[in-house]
C-alpha cells in the first residue's frame, strides 16, 4: 500500500505539476503527516520539490505551466468560479481583469452586462470583452508573451498608472493563509500588485488546486483580499482557515 500510494502520488504530480498535502490526505484517508513523509521520501529521490502545503515538480517552483496545459485543466471548476464572479459585477462597472484561464472564463460570462469598462493586459480577455457591443475595452501596452497572449513590462506598468477601477479580478498561481496570493511570472506579479493598489475591491479567483501552494513571487497578503471565490472541491479545513482570516469566501456551485 505504501509503495502504491507513493507511485500514484508521483504519477499525479507528473500530470498535474503540483499536489497539496490536505487533498492527498483526504483522498487516501490517511493523516497529513503520512503524506508529508511520502513527499519527504520522493523529494529525497529528487522526484519533486516540497513547498509550503504540498509539492511541485523540481523545475516548476519558479516556472508557470504552459497556457495550453492550464486551459484544459479543471475546466468545470473554472466555469463555476467565473459564473459566481460575474454576479459581483454590475452594469457600468470599471474593472481590471487579470490574465489567465479562469479570468478568461469570467470574460465569457459578461456578454449580458451593459456599459462595462474593462482594463486588461490579456489579448484574449480583451477580444472576448470586445464582443459585447456596449463594453469599452482598454488594452494595456507592453512586451507580448506569445504563449500567454498577454503583455507585461515597464510600458504596461506605466499605462496602469493612468487607471483606477471599481473592482479587480485576479487569478493565482498559488495561495496560502501565511503567504497570501503568489504567482510565477515576476513582471505579471508587478501588474497585479498595481491593479490591486488602484482598485476599490479585490476579488481573487482560485480553483481548489491552487490552495496550499506558494509560488516564487508575492502578489498580496490574504488580509488585502475582499472576496475569494473557489470551487466545491476545496477542503473543509482550508475553507475554515480562510473564513477565520476574515475573507469573504464564496464557494461556486457545481453546474
Q: How many residues are given for the chain? A: 255
**pLDDT-above-70 percentage for the chain:** 93
- Which DSSP symbol is given to 128? H
Confidence of residue 213 (pLDDT cuts 50, 70, 90): confident
Confidence of residue 84 (pLDDT cuts 50, 70, 90): very high
Q: Beta 49-51 vs 174-176: how paired, if at all?
A: unpaired
Q: Beta 136-139 vs 117-120: how paired, if at all?
A: parallel
Q: Reply yes or no on whether the pLDDT at 112 is more than 90.
A: yes
The H or E element containing residue 224 is none
Enumerate long-range contacts of 104-110, CB under 8 Å, 24 or more apart: 104/128, 105/78, 105/79, 105/81, 106/81, 106/82, 106/169, 106/205, 108/82, 109/82, 109/83, 109/85, 110/86, 110/135
Q: Reply yes or no on whether the pLDDT at 66 is more than 60.
A: no
pTM score of the predicted model: 0.76
170: three-class secondary structure by DSSP: strand
Q: Which residue has the higher pLDDT, 62 or 147?
A: 147
**pLDDT-above-90 percentage for the chain:** 60
Cα dist from 224 to 10, 194, 208, 252, whole Å = 35, 13, 20, 21
Confidence of residue 219 (pLDDT cuts 50, 70, 90): very high
Average confidence (pLDDT) over 199-211: 92
**42 closest CA partner among 73, 78, 14:** 14
CA distance 53 to 212: 4
Which set of grid coordinates corresponds to residue 53? 502545503
Amino acid at each position: 500500500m505504501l509503495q502504491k500510494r507513493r507511485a500514484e502520488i508521483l504519477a499525479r504530480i507528473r500530470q498535474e505539476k503540483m499536489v497539496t498535502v490536505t487533498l492527498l490526505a483526504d483522498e487516501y484517508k490517511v493523516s497529513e503527516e503520512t503524506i508529508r513523509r511520502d513527499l519527504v521520501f520522493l523529494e529525497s529521490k529528487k522526484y519533486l520539490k516540497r513547498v509550503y502545503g504540498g509539492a511541485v515538480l523540481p523545475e516548476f517552483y519558479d516556472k508557470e505551466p504552459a497556457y495550453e496545459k492550464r486551459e484544459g485543466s479543471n475546466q468545470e471548476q473554472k466555469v463555476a468560479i467565473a459564473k459566481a464572479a460575474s454576479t459581483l459585477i454590475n452594469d457600468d462597472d470599471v474593472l481590471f481583469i487579470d490574465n489567465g484561464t479562469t479570468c478568461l472564463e469570467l470574460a465569457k460570462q459578461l456578454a449580458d452586462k451593459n456599459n462595462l469598462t474593462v482594463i486588461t493586459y490579456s489579448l484574449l480577455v480583451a477580444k472576448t470583452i470586445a464582443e459585447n457591443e456596449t463594453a469599452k475595452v482598454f488594452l494595456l501596452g507592453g512586451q507580448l508573451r506569445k504563449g500567454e497572449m498577454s503583455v507585461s513590462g515597464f510600458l504596461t506598468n506605466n499605462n496602469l498608472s493612468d487607471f483606477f477601477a471599481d473592482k479587480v479580478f485576479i487569478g493565482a498561481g498559488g495561495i496560502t493563509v501565511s503567504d497570501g496570493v503568489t504567482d510565477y511570472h515576476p513582471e505579471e506579479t508587478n501588474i497585479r500588485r498595481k491593479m490591486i493598489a488602484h482598485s476599490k475591491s479585490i476579488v481573487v479567483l482560485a480553483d481548489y488546486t491552487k490552495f496550499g501552494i506558494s509560488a516564487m513571487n508575492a502578489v498580496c497578503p490574504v488580509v488585502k483580499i475582499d472576496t475569494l471565490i473557489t470551487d466545491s472541491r476545496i477542503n473543509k479545513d482550508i475553507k475554515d482557515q480562510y473564513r477565520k482570516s476574515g475573507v469573504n469566501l464564496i464557494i461556486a456551485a457545481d453546474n
